[in-house]
């Protein structure tokens, strides 16, 4: 659903996040004026507010908390992370002060805490656990920062050293907060950056349901019980659709096939000459996916691609490989993908072609002629399988978790699979496997996000707050965000059911959103 609030003032490209307080106060007053009565059966929800330079994640969490309280009558509280990690920018200090001012003003409606109030030395009985959470959080955050280009690879050791103590303080304080307060739900935006991962891990340890969100500009998706970037909730939605009457699942599959067919038809009009192709190797944003800590056959996408190119070049020199850069990289390039592509182009294996994002050549013509498709994490494997091209993933993505696409259990099994696919005519993909991929594709293309200005991006949220947020809060899109967090149902399930003509919530789950 599209949020329809109109912009009423010029919007700076990067508003200073410490200036959001007055607009948030106006929204809170307007929203709570017609709020639903307190619902004693609703969960107690704590919104984790962490300052984030050039982002408005904390203010987004505040505004979502207000929407949850107003529309569902849930008890909402705010936890301000005022402990620096890995260091604190002066703007972030200003933001902490602004958040504290807002929370004090609305203390009667939304009780609040400062994380520093729970800071003290780690208890000896918790030290091993805290250290393990911190080490894992640092490892994943380093991967995210280096891959995204915000931290030079050569600075990794110094970052890990300097960031360890601040993250330990945050982890120990959050551990004590959860032990003392034990809310029903802890909401924290993001994946692993800025220490978010430790919040999710501690919630798991304390048996507190975790909720999160992730976004691109003007779109947003929420996870009901894990890090949002996993999109593992799509697997939950996939399983749910299989429990519906067969005709509804078949309708979803048909829509998935129709969506892909439209893309194939559009690609056929592209005049570009395609290289010969036996094996399609699409790249993804590895630093933003592997950092989420999901299982993988290879530690990084770079390791996988080097290993694959070397193996195919050595054992199947007649097979033509095409490495395809993610099309979004034409606008949002990945530094490590650019380095990898440059490395491959300098090596120039005779049977390798690199398709750069700048060329803007659709991949569907390649897939129709290829023997196989392999990716670390790319939804191209779903499209390939739907088109009858054998495909596997190297990582436990949501479509692997759902069983729609397989992941080889070992590298030996992977190489054996490559041998089978590249040694003759293209293999046959069973119709059941094509339909499984189509069902997941329906979720991916139609159900996993809302298009709205209500996102954690600074310019998006500033626009939203300075239009008519109290009216926009009443839209179906934000209603679904509230349902997701309060009722523990993924946005993808809500949207999939609605697209199939069903009530948004599964049978037996009461709608927490007041009429």
Confidence of residue 286 (pLDDT cuts 50, 70, 90): confident
- Tokens 């501690």 appear where? 202
Tokens of 241: 């659709």
Whether 219 has a pLDDT exceeding 80, the answer reads: no
Cis link prior to 86 (omega < 30° from 0)? yes
Confidence of residue 224 (pLDDT cuts 50, 70, 90): low
pLDDT tens readout for residues 261-285:
999 999 999 888 899 999 999 998 8
**Does the pLDDT at position 434 exceed 80?**
yes
**Residues 85-100, mean pLDDT to the nearest whole number:** 88
Report the pLDDT value the prediction gives residue 5, as an integer from 0 to 100: 41
**Helices vs strands, H then E, count in the chain:** 20, 12
Cβ distance 401 to 232 under 8 Å? yes
3-state secondary structure of 210: strand
Q: What is the pLDDT of residue 150?
A: 79
The band of 322, judged by pLDDT with boundaries at 50, 70 and 90, is very high
Give the whole-angstrom CA distance, residue 294 versus residue 301: 13
Domains (range + CATH), the chain: 17-231+450-499 (3.40.50), 236-446 (3.40.50.2000)
- Between CA 105 and CA 98 the distance in angstroms is 11
Residues 61 and 47 sit within 8 Å (Cβ to Cβ): yes
Give which of 149, 133, 124 is closest to 195, Cα–Cα: 133
Q: Does residue 406 have a pLDDT over 90? A: yes
Percent of the chain whose predicted confidence (pLDDT) is above 70: 92
pLDDT band at 213 (very low <50, low <70, confident <90, very high): confident
Q: Which two tokens stand for residue 374?
A: 């392999």
C-alpha radius of gyration, the chain, whole number: 24
Burial letters 219-247, b for 16+ CB under 10 A, else e:
bbbbbbbbbbbbbbbbbbbbebbeebeee
What is the predicted pLDDT for the residue at 256? 98
| Residue reference for tokens 């192709």 | 277
Question: Average model confidence (pLDDT) for the chain?
Answer: 90
pLDDT digits (tens, 9 = 90+) for 470-509: 999 999 999 999 999 999 999 999 999 999 999 999 999 9
Helix (H, G, I), strand (E, B) or coil at 484: helix
Report the pLDDT value the prediction gives residue 452, as an integer from 0 to 100: 85
pLDDT at 431 over 90: yes
Give dist(CA 390, CA 372) in Å, integer: 5
DSSP characters over 131-179: HHHHHHHHHHHHHHHHHHTSS-GGGHHHHHHHHHHHHHHHHHHHHHHHH
Residue that wins the pLDDT comparison between 299 and 500: 500
Q: 72-92, pLDDT tens digit by residue?
A: 999 999 999 999 888 777 888
158-172, 327-341, 432-446 — which is least confidently predicted? 327-341
CA atoms within 13 A on the CB side of 182: 5
* Nearest alpha carbon to residue 49 among 79, 83, 92: 79
pLDDT tier at 232 (50, 70, 90 boundaries)?
A: confident
pLDDT of residue 453: 84
* pTM attached to this predicted model: 0.90
Taking only the tens place, the pLDDT of each residue in 10-66 is: 444 567 878 899 999 999 999 999 999 999 999 999 999 998 777 899 999 999 999
Q: Which residue has the tokens 């395609």?
A: 274
Residue whose tokens read 């005049």: 271
The closest alpha carbon to 384, from 307, 303, 299, 324, belongs to 324
Answer yes or no: is pLDDT of 391 > 60: yes
As a whole number of angstroms, the distance between CA 458 and CA 380 comes to 31
**Nearest CA to 259 among 83, 440, 489?**
440
Is pLDDT above 60 for 430?
A: yes
Q: Give how far the C-alpha of residue 346 lies from the chain's centroid of Cα atoms, to the nearest Å.
A: 33
**Residue 70 contacts residue 31 (beta carbons within 8 Å):** yes
pLDDT at 133 over 90: yes
Alpha carbon 62 to chain centroid, angstroms: 20
* Strand pairing class (391-393; 372-375): parallel
Q: How many residues does the chain have?
A: 515
Task: Provide the CB-side half-sphere exposure for 178 (13 A, CA).
Answer: 25
3 has a pLDDT exceeding 50: no
Q: How much is the average pLDDT of 109-126? A: 96
Lowest average pLDDT, out of 33-47, 185-199, 375-389, 436-450, goes to 185-199
Does the pLDDT of residue 156 top 90, yes or no? Answer: no
Of 12-16, 137-141, 323-327, 474-478, which range is least confident? 12-16
Residue 457 dihedral angles phi and psi, to the nearest 5°: -70, 135
* pLDDT digit string, tens, across residues 103-116: 999 999 999 999 99
Q: Please give the pLDDT value at position 458.
A: 87
Confidence of residue 290 (pLDDT cuts 50, 70, 90): low
Cβ–Cβ under 8 Å, residues 286 and 300: yes
490, 226 Cβ separation under 8 angstroms: no
At residue 226, the pLDDT reads 61
DSSP state of 388: T
Q: Are strands 450-451 and 219-223 parallel, antiparallel or unpaired?
A: antiparallel
CA pair distance 61, 65, nearest whole angstrom: 6
DSSP 295: -
Q: Identify the band that residue 225 occupies on the pLDDT scale cut at 50, 70 and 90.
A: low
């Amino acid at each position: 659903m599209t949020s329809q609030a109109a912009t009423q003032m010029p919007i700076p490209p990067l508003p200073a996040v410490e200036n959001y307080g007055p607009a948030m106060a106006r929204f809170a007053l307007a929203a709570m004026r017609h709020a639903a009565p307190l619902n004693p059966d609703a969960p107690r929800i704590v919104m984790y507010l962490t300052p984030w330079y050039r982002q408005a994640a904390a203010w987004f969490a505040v505004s979502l908390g207000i929407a949850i309280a107003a529309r569902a009558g849930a008890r909402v509280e705010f936890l301000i992370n005022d402990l620096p990690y890995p260091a604190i920018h002066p703007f972030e200090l200003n933001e902490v002060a602004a958040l504290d001012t807002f929370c004090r003003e609305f203390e009667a409606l939304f009780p609040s805490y400062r994380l520093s109030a729970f800071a003290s030395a780690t208890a000896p009985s918790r030290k091993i656990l805290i250290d393990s959470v911190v080490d894992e959080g640092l490892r994943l955050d380093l991967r995210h920062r280096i891959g995204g280009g915000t931290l030079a690879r050569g600075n990794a050791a110094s970052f890990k050293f300097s960031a360890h103590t601040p993250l330990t303080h945050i982890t120990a304080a959050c551990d004590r907060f959860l032990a003392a307060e034990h809310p029903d739900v802890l909401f924290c935006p993001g994946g692993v950056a800025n220490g978010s991962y430790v919040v999710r891990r501690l919630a798991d340890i304390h048996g507190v349901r975790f909720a999160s969100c992730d976004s691109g500009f003007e779109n947003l998706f929420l996870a009901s019980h894990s890090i949002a970037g996993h999109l593992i909730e799509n697997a939950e939605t996939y399983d749910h659709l299989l429990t519906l009457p067969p005709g509804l699942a078949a309708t979803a599959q048909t829509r998935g096939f129709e969506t892909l067919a439209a893309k194939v038809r559009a690609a056929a009009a592209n005049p570009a000459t395609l290289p010969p192709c036996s094996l399609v190797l699409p790249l993804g944003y590895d630093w933003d996916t592997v950092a989420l800590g999901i299982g993988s056959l290879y530690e990084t996408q770079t390791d996988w691609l080097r290993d694959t190119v070397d193996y195919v070049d050595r054992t199947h020199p007649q097979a033509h490989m095409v490495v395809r850069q993610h099309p979004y990289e034409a606008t949002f390039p990945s530094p490590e993908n650019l380095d990898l592509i440059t490395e491959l182009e300098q090596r120039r294996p005779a049977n390798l072609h690199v398709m750069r994002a700048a060329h803007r050549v659709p991949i569907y013509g390649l897939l129709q002629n290829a023997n196989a498709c392999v990716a670390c994490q790319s939804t191209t494997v779903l499209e390939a399988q739907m088109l009858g091209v054998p495909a596997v993933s190297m990582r436990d993505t949501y479509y692997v978790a759902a069983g729609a696409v397989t992941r080889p259990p070992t590298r030996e099994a992977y190489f054996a699979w490559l041998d089978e696919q590249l040694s003759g005519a293209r293999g046959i993909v069973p119709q059941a496997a094509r339909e499984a991929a189509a069902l997941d594709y329906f979720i991916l293309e139609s159900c996993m996000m809302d298009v709205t200005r209500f996102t954690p991006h600074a310019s998006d949220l500033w626009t939203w707050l300075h239009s008519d947020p109290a009216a926009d809060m009443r839209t179906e899109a934000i209603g679904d965000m509230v349902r997701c967090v309060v009722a523990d149902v993924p946005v993808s399930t809500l949207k999939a059911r609605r697209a199939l003509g069903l009530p948004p919530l599964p049978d037996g789950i009461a709608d927490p959103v007041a009429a």
